[in-house]
Chains A and B, each alone.
Chain A
């Protein structure tokens, strides 16, 4: 059965810290891995990763995929209170409807 596992489930840091969020996956016919940030209701897209070893970067956020070891990490440097959110990892499943397989998320709290 396809699955996506995130760790840690929750994390509390101080402003300015660097955090690393983990996502491992077991997905048949793997195509891509997605990271989202969820603050209130709707998840907002961060990154889509398809190739191993190529870092994607957006400001203080970056992410990389390892298709050999079946995991991805999301790094946030110089954290700010506005980074407090749930970070979700997902991968499209093998079916024709490309249903997303979701992790449980990492709840990040950044304290001032």
Chain B
């Protein structure tokens, strides 16, 4: 199955600042997914990132707040902009694995905004 390296693993940030999370995949993938998981909640899809096109955002998420880059088929970044304590969550990237492993996830970023 695909292996995804996600960085940073965790961060504590001041409100009003921005954090960029990056995911590197060891193989080429068409679609990458970015999720947020707030404390005690299930996973919520933020956006789907395809290489060479604008990311598709889910209802309730906007590009100004969560800009995404997808410069090639193995890499993507998600920026959490102008952070507030409500942005404190686990952020996860995921890819659809071409084998029988379904969707593979990065190791996650635990973000705390103070």
Contacts and interface: CB of A to CB of B under 8 A. Distances in A.
B56 A97 contact: yes
Interface stretch (A22-30, A42-50, A57-65, A70-78): A42-50
Interface stretch (B65-73, B76-84, B94-102): B94-102
Contact of B48 (A32, A40, A97, A103): A97
Given A97-B31, A105-B42, A45 B103 contact: yes
A41 B107 contact: yes
Contacts, number: 50
Interface string B25-63: 000000101000000011101001000000010100000
Nearest to A50: B100
Interface residues of B, number: 25
B1 A88 contact: no
Interface size on A, as a range, is: 10 to 19
Chain B interface mostly helix, strand, loop or mixed?
A: strand
A102 B43 contact: yes
A40 B107 CA distance: 9
B90 interface: yes
Interface of A: 32, 34, 40-45, 48, 88, 90, 97-100, 102-105
Interface of B: 1, 6, 31, 33, 41-43, 45, 48, 56, 58, 90, 92, 96, 100-110
